[in-house]
Amino acid sequence: MCGQWSTTGYVKNQINNRLENELSAEQYEQTLNELSKFKPAIILCGGEILLYPQWQKFMKMLTERDMPMTLITNGTHLRQAAETLVELGLNQLIVSIDGPAPVHDKIRGREGAFNRAIAGIKKVAAIKKEAGIKYPLISLNSTILADNWDSLDKIADLADKLQIDKVTYLHPNFLDKNLWQQHLQVFSSKIGDLSAEWGGFIRSMSDYDADKLAAKIEYIKKQKYSSLITFLPDFSADDIKKYYQDGLFQSKRFSQKCLGPWKTVNIHPDGKVSPCLGYSIGNILDKPFKEIWRGEKMRDFRQVVSEDMPFPACSRCCTFYRF
């Protein structure tokens, strides 16, 4: 759900342009050769990676270079892909589950989506069991929404039943129009470029009962599950209330400096490289990844992040709390 496929979602508004210029697996080869020397963790997400026509070829290229892979999927095509994913040596499989079947299908807007995802998870688990192997580890991701917060514990129960390794509950990325405008002004003045894609996360949180949500999360934390249960960010009860009610929220439990530009970067389907939402520092079609990662534009961005963070929208970004 982080992809924001809603009417105003940034992926929905941007994906067509990016897919029109989608790179082939071969066009990633030079970049993968560069990265293979450092063995970074590769997270395949989107969009839905299993709809990429060359996903098998791309993942095989990662396997051949001994690069650890995590796949995040909605599970719709997981059952058909299960054997290949295990054979290719996938390290971690993360399936997005929003709640029990009625809740999940309502949020996804497709009847049967839940059953297809669960069938895929069971197929992967069965293949692992038969082969006597540990990987891929299987995790569930669940974005906390107004439509599912009351059934979050049911997801943990489901994970126990399916013997899932880990469940991660994610607080949603969001901001109001005023905060977005502030972010655009500050970001453009400091970076010289707009981070306009944050506009896809504009939404009201008036339908969230922060007090009840905090109580629900506290209840889950007190239960004993066989699956590892995590929250991102792992806010206190007081932080949860402020996160949903205070536009200028800043948590005292977390550093107010983002380490994302030193730890991670996104490579989009068209080859653009982004250290921050909506901000591109180059394209792997134009120059080697190493030159982009160590280039002047990235160095300047890191300096601004070091000296001037956080920007207005940063407290609503999961990367801000990840490292």
pLDDT tens, position by position, for the chain (323 residues)?
444 344 444 455 555 555 678 999 999 999 999 999 999 999 999 889 999 999 999 999 999 999 999 999 999 999 999 999 999 999 999 999 999 999 999 999 999 999 999 999 999 999 999 999 999 999 999 999 989 999 999 999 999 999 999 999 999 998 888 888 888 898 889 888 877 788 888 888 877 899 999 999 999 999 999 999 999 999 999 999 999 988 778 888 888 889 999 999 999 999 999 999 889 999 999 999 999 999 999 999 999 999 987 888 898 898 999 88
CB atoms within 10 A of CB 273: 23
φ, ψ (nearest 5 deg) of residue 44? -95, 110
- Is 269:19 a contact under the CB 8 Å cutoff? yes
- How far apart CA 190 and CA 305 sit, in angstroms, is 9
Take residue 186 and report the two structure tokens written for it: 């500050």
- Is 51:19 a contact under the CB 8 Å cutoff? no
| Total residue length of the chain | 323
- How far apart CA 318 and CA 201 sit, in angstroms, is 13
Predicted pLDDT at 17: 57
- Kindly compute the dihedral angle of the four CA atoms of residues 296, 302, 307, 312, in this order, to the nearest 10 degrees: 120
Closest Cα to residue 97, out of 117, 112, 119, 111? Answer: 117
User: What number of H helices and E strands is found in the chain?
Assistant: 14, 9
- Is 78:50 a contact under the CB 8 Å cutoff? yes
Beta strands in the chain (DSSP E): 42-44, 69-73, 92-96, 137-143, 166-170, 228-232, 266-267, 272-274, 282-283
Predicted pLDDT at 11: 54
Predicted pLDDT at 7: 43
SS3 73: strand
Give 3-state DSSP helix, strand, coil % of the chain, rounded to 5.
50, 15, 40
Closest Cα to residue 114, out of 138, 140, 136, 145? Answer: 140
Predicted pLDDT at 73: 96
Take residue 32 and report the two structure tokens written for it: 């993968």
CB atoms within 10 A of CB 303: 11
- How far apart CA 307 and CA 142 sit, in angstroms, is 34
- Is 56:88 a contact under the CB 8 Å cutoff? yes
The crossing angle, in degrees rounded to 10, of helices 210-222 and 237-245 is 150
Q: In what order do the strands lie in the sheet with 266-267?
A: 266-267, 272-274, 282-283
* In the block, residue with structure tokens 């590892």: 228
Predicted pLDDT at 4: 37
